[in-house]
Amino acid sequence: MQPVRLVVGRLLARCPPTHSGRQLSSGSTISIRDALNQALDEEIRRDANVFVMGEEVAQYDGAYKVTKGLWKKYGDNRIWDTPITEMGFAGMAVGAAFAGLRPVCEFMTFNFSMQAIDQIINSAAKTYYMSAGRVNCPIVFRGPNGAAAGVAAQHSQDYSAWYAHCPGLKVVTPYSAVEAKGLLKAAIRDDNPVVFLENEILYGQQFPFPEEAKSEDFVLPIGKAHIERPGNDITIVTYSRGVEFAMEAAKQLATIGVEAEVINLRTLRPFDFETVKKSVMKTNHLVTVETGWPFAGIGAEISAQVIESEAFDYLDAPIYRVTGVDIPMPYAQSLEAAALPTADHVVKMAKKSLHIQ
């Protein structure tokens, strides 16, 4: 296998325009899988230092076909199949990033990232600080995160809170196709290590894909939340697949005259607290939604930050959290469904906050 070409003395890429606040025009639809593939294709073509490595990402086109066609297009120099040894190839990727390359390191599932967590935390996340700013690590660790379907406890964990806990990492959690493309491109161009948590259940879903998102210069800013649905009665804060539950809950609440504001965090670290705070100060009610475990979860952190801020004085009810059940994920389909949150759970907590029977 030929080494990736290291371009010495390369010019800094020009900063692309970002799309954070304005309404995007309507357009065609695309799946999350294809949006991620498009982002990888464009960034590999754009920057000779970008390459992808992981299990079955090359000749097999990826376990979830996110890298479909890229090996045939770019060859062994840019798309690397690795052995089944996460600690080994994650360490190789971190070393390559230290040397000036921009690896995209795929975990077939983030549950396997536990084998590589020393490389992610102790090497990638901490080296910039420990080197006094002399050695940065422009790397993306990406793959499906959280529960899929029928894969039991050892393949269903949500690592959002795990990685968001660690200084030195940026943690990105896209929901839609536009976010998948725009945020992955931003993550690849970032000079810091980024943990990019996708959702396997969402891979095949179709989402609107406006003309602006088809541009090779389309990049979304890391660290900025998005208001998916404006409302004045209650704030629902969520991310990744939780947006699906929150939006369905908002529709149900609208039938009884409750207008919920749904905030899609998009990024867990850095956390856009200002958007959450302003919404809570407007609606006076807050529900958080996540698929991970409740103890020390993302909802707990959001709740703490709201309580510690001036937004606390605006609350008219306690903050309520909707999470996964506090158990290892069952294998049986009926028990798995019972262990995960639904839109009905969100509606129940919203009604509880608003004192609606």
Report which of 81, 96, 80 is spatially closest to residue 139, judged by C-alpha positions.
96
**301 carries an active-site annotation:** no
Report whether 315 contacts 322 (CB < 8 A).
no
**What contacts 282, CB < 8 A, 6 or more positions away?**
232, 235, 261
As given in the structure block, the two tokens for residue 76 are 């062994």
**42 carries an active-site annotation:** no
3-state secondary structure of 242: helix
DSSP 275-324: HHHHHHHHHS-EEEE-SS-STT-HHHHHHHHHHTSGGGGG-SS--EEE--
CA distance 88 to 131: 23
62 alpha-carbon distance from chain centroid: 19
Q: What is the DSSP letter of 153?
A: G
* Pairing verdict, β 234-238 and 267-269: unpaired
- Residue 265 vs residues 69, 74, 175, 307: alpha-carbon distances, Å: 31, 34, 9, 18
CA distance 195 to 14: 23
Instruction: Kindly tell me the burial class for residue 59, based on how many C-beta atoms sit within 10 Å of its own C-beta (0-12, 13-18, 19 or more).
Output: exposed
CA distance 211 to 21: 16
**What contacts 107, CB < 8 A, 6 or more positions away?**
54, 86, 113, 116, 141, 142, 143
Point out the catalytic residue in the list 86, 228, 244, 290.
Answer: 86
Point out the catalytic residue in the list 19, 155, 226, 285.
Answer: 155
Q: Which residues are catalytic?
A: 86, 155
